[in-house]
Chain A
Amino acid sequence: MRLRSTPAEEAFRSELREWLGVHLAQLPAHPAADDWPAQREYDTAWQRQLFDAAYAGMAWPKAYGGRESTANEELIFLEETERAGAPYIGCNFVGTLHAGPTIAAEGTAEQKERHLRPILRGDHVWCQGFSEPEAGSDLASLRTRAVRDGDHYVVTGQKIWTSHAHVADYCEMLVRTDPDSKHGGISWLIMPMDSPGIELRPLRTLTGVSEFNEMFLDEVRIPVENLVGAENDGWRVAMVTFSFERGTAFVSELLGSMVMARDLAEVAKAMGAWDDQSIRRDLAIVVAELESLWAYTKRNISTAAKTGTTGVGGSIFKLGYHDARLHLADVTTRVLARHGLALDDLGTLSRFDHVERSLYALSLSIAAGTSQIQRNIVGERLLGLPKERAWT
């Protein structure tokens, strides 16, 4: 085992640091929390800068404008950008981490040509239309119908929880092309968001912002050439995407949480809560938990680099991370006391919205596979326990 980087990796780090130093100084002010057009502008402008400097698409093949770097280099990239306070991936998330890699692996030459570079360059924003009102954890039960009509699919149905749909250009969408087969009747479509027949209704999250939407689809016509993979092979295509996971998905978040925990200690000192031994102890435990999760992240990355997959490591990380964030949220509530009744307004005491981020932690056990589903995965795949019943 080793932690140390190679000389080449260190060279990459210092070159990146220098670049960040120059470019972050010119960054515009961060837009207001619920101003989505401004956020899109902010996120994509940063993506463009990364692209121009060849830092976009660390994991992407060079053929599509990526850097094709090792996972260790990607880790260094994420570490350094987080430490320097660079913008988060924001609304480029689905395009750069999900739809893009899927098209790179499964798309036609035309699809790659049309979509990959624009995603990396920050020209195209994508959203993910997988979940439906009746198909959440049991995603394969989705019902949004796509019926072939000449060289188009006509799509009717409803998606939900579609993050960033209101600022997206394209949607990666799972639709039902065969009602008689569950997993074998799903197809993966590229839907242009300016197609007629799409209606979005914003949904407000419990933190107060409207990050995701209901998406109603009424006879939306999508060209057959937008099918990725074969008709009825969409489930496999969607699963292929998950298998790209190099263990780097939560690096920025986790490092951010570690900084946040230290910041909370400063807040506690300034507000007097640090005198309370139980608060000091509980925060120390959270810090230790986050530190172990950082080690775990690195191990997941090493495992994926060796074997091509993190195995159940992603599920284990997610369970542990949610737990640690809940513990942090609990300490936050005790540190802030009545100041925690306001969502902002810690004024100069902190650079973080501690209350809002505590609320955000609640989504970590729901989004991208609930904690119950993750526990089933760990119990069945790692420990080999039998299924509760034969799921269909």
Chain B
Amino acid sequence: MDLTLDDGQLALQEELRRFLTNEMTPERRRAMSAEPGGVDRAFWLRLAEMGVFSLTLSEAAGGVGLGIDDATIVFEELGRALVPGPLVATFLAAGFVDGAADGTIVVGAVDRGPEDLVVEHLEALDRILWSGDPATVTDVPRGRLITRPLDPTTPVSHVRATDIGPGDTVDPALRDGLLRHASLLVAAFQVGLAQAAVDLATDYAKSRQQFGRAIGSFQALKHLLADAAAATDIARAGVHAAAVAINEHDDADVEPVARLDVLAAGARIVASRAAHVAATTCIQVHGGMGYTWEVEAHLLLKRSMVLDQSLGGIASAERTVEESL
């Protein structure tokens, strides 16, 4: 057992972090929001070049041949940099939708549900991964863009379920594995959001002065930040351990499959809560600035809220754990 990152994983993390620090600036993010569907296609191609979507595909299939644990490292970095777009859906589709792996096609995910659907990034999508049993890959229906989305970096549209065609069936054998991976990648992204919130707030707490000293010296704030940092790191370990359990299961049945679902769902629950605590702490630490549009704290919170609605919602993760008891 060793749950620390190995050298290859540290290098992967470092490479992506450097790329995103340079490329994913707040100005760039703002510019992306103005693109149709909130996705910058050129940037999407660069993410694909970095292997973001093809990471776990075999080298024979044009991928990088890494494990889902490596993918969680990548998705944490994407979350940390608050990269917009249907990243998880495109990653999942890379195994069976042509063009997803190399970034030429943007795939979104839609949960089967009521007639009246709210879909993210609709105008940027080329294909839709339509969840359900069986899952299908369909054409993109028309929708009505909502003028005021909750998260300014995640445009949303109204879509009528009846406007979505039947599409091509996804191999049912893939379905459970896809869902598990999706849960974990969402969880990893949440950990990244949480870490970004802790970092942003910590920097501010060190520089902002009141009563003649840095506000981060006040225990009232220091303790909020410590709790947020603790929640984030614990969530990260949960995501990594679940990912490794899934990886090792792919080699040999070590854990029963149902248990893997529970681990992935549990990791998602804890990560979501960490992101919420960290983002609200980040807002609080910034005082009035934290309530403004300028400081990115609200974007971290809002993206976390968007993610909580994905994959049947966080409640479905809670039910998965519940049913294991």
Interface on A for B, CB 8 Å cutoff?
A: 1-5, 72, 75, 261-262, 265, 280-281, 283-285, 287-289, 291-296, 298-299, 301-303, 305-306, 313, 315-317, 319-320, 372, 374-380, 382-389
Interface contact A383-B198, CB-CB below 8 Å = yes
Interface contact A295-B237, CB-CB below 8 Å = yes
Report chain B residues within 8 Å CB of A386. Answer: 206, 213-214, 216-217
Question: In the bound complex, what is the Cα–Cα distance between A261 and B262 (angstroms)?
Answer: 15
Interface contact B222-A288, CB-CB below 8 Å = no
Closest to A321 in B: B234
Among B198-214, those with CB < 8 Å from A are: 198, 202, 205-206, 213-214
Which 10 pairs of residues, A with B, have the shortest CB-CB distance?
Answer: A292-B238, A295-B241, A288-B266, A379-B222, A378-B226, A284-B321, A385-B216, A265-B325, A375-B226, A299-B3
Interface on B for A, CB 8 Å cutoff?
A: 1-6, 9, 69, 198, 202, 205-206, 213-214, 216-219, 222-223, 225-227, 229-231, 233-235, 237-238, 240-245, 248, 254, 262-263, 265-267, 269-270, 273, 315, 318-319, 321-322, 324-325
Report chain B residues within 8 Å CB of A375. Answer: 219, 222-223, 226-227
Dominant SS at the A interface? helix
Interface contact A378-B1, CB-CB below 8 Å = no
Interface contact B2-A383, CB-CB below 8 Å = no
- Smallest distance from the beta carbon of B109 to chain A beta carbons, Å? 23
Closest to A387 in B: B217
Closest to B67 in A: A1
Closest to B235 in A: A292
- Smallest distance from the beta carbon of B35 to chain A beta carbons, Å? 35
Question: In the bound complex, what is the Cα–Cα distance between A5 and B270 (angstroms)?
Answer: 26
Report chain A residues within 8 Å CB of B248. Answer: 2-4
Interface contact B233-A296, CB-CB below 8 Å = yes
Report chain A residues within 8 Å CB of B267. Answer: 288, 291-292
Question: In the bound complex, what is the Cα–Cα distance between A317 and B318 (angstroms)?
Answer: 23
Task: Given A265-B325, A292-B235, A386-B216, check contact A302 B269 (CB 8 Å).
Answer: no
Closest to A281 in B: B318
Question: In the bound complex, what is the Cα–Cα distance between A265 and B322 (angstroms)?
Answer: 9
Report chain A residues within 8 Å CB of B230. Answer: 315-316, 319-320, 378
Question: In the bound complex, what is the Cα–Cα distance between A386 and B218 (angstroms)?
Answer: 9
Question: In the bound complex, what is the Cα–Cα distance between A315 and B233 (angstroms)?
Answer: 12
Question: In the bound complex, what is the Cα–Cα distance between A296 and B244 (angstroms)?
Answer: 13
Task: Given A4-B248, A262-B325, A375-B222, check contact A302 B4 (CB 8 Å).
Answer: yes
Question: In the bound complex, what is the Cα–Cα distance between A294 and B238 (angstroms)?
Answer: 8
Interface contact B222-A388, CB-CB below 8 Å = yes
Interface contact B223-A379, CB-CB below 8 Å = yes
Kindly list 19 other residue pairs between chains A and B, CB separation below 8 angstroms, not including A288-B321, A296-B234.
A1-B4, A2-B2, A3-B245, A265-B325, A284-B269, A284-B321, A285-B318, A291-B267, A292-B241, A295-B237, A299-B240, A320-B231, A375-B223, A376-B226, A380-B222, A382-B226, A383-B229, A384-B202, A386-B216
Interface contact B222-A376, CB-CB below 8 Å = yes
Interface contact B238-A295, CB-CB below 8 Å = yes
- Smallest distance from the beta carbon of A267 to chain B beta carbons, Å? 11
Interface contact B234-A1, CB-CB below 8 Å = no
Among A280, A315, A379, A389, residue most surrounded by chain B Cβ atoms (within 10 Å): A379
Interface contact B202-A320, CB-CB below 8 Å = no
Report chain A residues within 8 Å CB of B229. Answer: 316, 378-379, 382-383
Report chain A residues within 8 Å CB of B324. Answer: 287
Interface contact A283-B322, CB-CB below 8 Å = yes
Interface contact B225-A379, CB-CB below 8 Å = yes
Report chain A residues within 8 Å CB of B240. Answer: 1, 295, 299
Report chain B residues within 8 Å CB of A377. Answer: 226
Report chain B residues within 8 Å CB of A374. Answer: 226
Interface contact A4-B1, CB-CB below 8 Å = yes
- Smallest distance from the beta carbon of A59 to chain B beta carbons, Å? 16
Closest to A380 in B: B222
Report chain B residues within 8 Å CB of A281. Answer: 315, 318, 322
| Complex partner residue of A306 from B4, B233, B237, B262, CB under 8 angstroms | B4
